[in-house]
Amino acid sequence: MEKQFNCPQCGSDRTQKARVLYESGTSASKMTMAGLGVAGGGKVGVGVGAGAGTSQTELAKKLSPPVKPALVGRRFLAWLLVAVGSFTLFNGFLLLATTTLHHKSNGVGFLIFGGICAFSGIFIFKSAGRKLKKRKVKYEEDYTKWERTWYCNRCGHIIDELDSKTFEEFQKLGKNLKELEGLVSRIDNLNK
Ligand SMILES: [Zn+2]
């Protein structure tokens, strides 16, 4: 069985793992999605997708895992620049290969423009890659932290396993406290 953690704020044992609460709160919205799909047939596809996010419980939203970084837009822009750049470069070389001087000078223009596009595309791609790497490190950290997260159903405190004690530790602590109290009262009795 998995360890259980007491709430460090109120001491309650009514705690649950964030992942469990998140998944149960999110699967409910998936059920809504399937129901809508059956009822409306293929037509409601778009509306169903939009409704899926909002039907997630507030608690599940609060306890959701970190979002995986992607930088999709920037990568798309980079690929676009590289594609346009290489196409223009290719045409520039074709024009250079022709004999007319007018075409040749156009070819030079194409090469310059294509080169700038391709290089800036590569630059953006590389810098996006570096940024993504940094964000991924942060994401991994956040994700590990999320996996350690518990929620107190009594006081709503969000618990980090590292800040809390397991049930056994908590019980042991209570036992130690009782023993200590017993010891104190015995000393008190001795002094009387
Ligand atoms: Zn609590």
With respect to residue 118, please indicate whether it lies within any of the assigned structural domains.
Answer: yes
Q: Which pLDDT band, with edges at 50, 70 and 90, does 173 fall under? A: confident
What's the CA-to-centroid distance between 177 and ligand 1, angstroms? 20
What's the CA-to-centroid distance between 176 and ligand 1, angstroms? 22
pTM over 0.75: no
What's the CA-to-centroid distance between 170 and ligand 1, angstroms? 14
With respect to residue 31, please indicate whether it lies within any of the assigned structural domains.
Answer: no
With respect to residue 85, please indicate whether it lies within any of the assigned structural domains.
Answer: yes
Are 114 and 88 contacting, i.e. CB atoms less than 8 angstroms apart? yes
* 88 CB-contact burial (10 Å; exposed 0-12 / middle 13-18 / buried 19+): buried
What's the CA-to-centroid distance between 180 and ligand 1, angstroms? 25
What's the CA-to-centroid distance between 13 and ligand 1, angstroms? 8
Query: Does 40 score more than 70 pLDDT?
Result: no
Both tokens assigned to 68: 């995986």
Residues with CB under 5 A from ligand 1 (ion): 7, 9-10, 12, 152, 154-155, 157
Domain that holds residue 136: 67-156
Name which of 29, 55, 10 is nearest 150 in CA terms: 10
With respect to residue 34, please indicate whether it lies within any of the assigned structural domains.
Answer: no
What is the overall mean pLDDT for the chain? 84
DSSP assignment, residue 56? Answer: S
Both tokens assigned to 82: 């590289």
What's the CA-to-centroid distance between 91 and ligand 1, angstroms? 68
What's the CA-to-centroid distance between 156 and ligand 1, angstroms? 6
Sign of the alpha-carbon torsion through 132, 136, 142, 143: positive
Lowest mean pLDDT among 34-38, 56-60, 82-86, 90-94: 34-38
The top-scoring range by mean pLDDT among 1-10, 37-46, 67-76 is: 67-76
Counted domains in the chain:
1
Query: Does 61 score more than 80 pLDDT?
Result: yes
Q: Which pLDDT band, with edges at 50, 70 and 90, does 73 fall under? A: very high
Q: Tell me the β-bridge partners of 166.
A: 5
With respect to residue 187, please indicate whether it lies within any of the assigned structural domains.
Answer: no
With respect to residue 48, please indicate whether it lies within any of the assigned structural domains.
Answer: no
Q: Which pLDDT band, with edges at 50, 70 and 90, does 35 fall under? A: very low
With respect to residue 23, please indicate whether it lies within any of the assigned structural domains.
Answer: no
What's the CA-to-centroid distance between 9 and ligand 1, angstroms? 5
pLDDT score, position 15: 92
With respect to residue 27, please indicate whether it lies within any of the assigned structural domains.
Answer: no
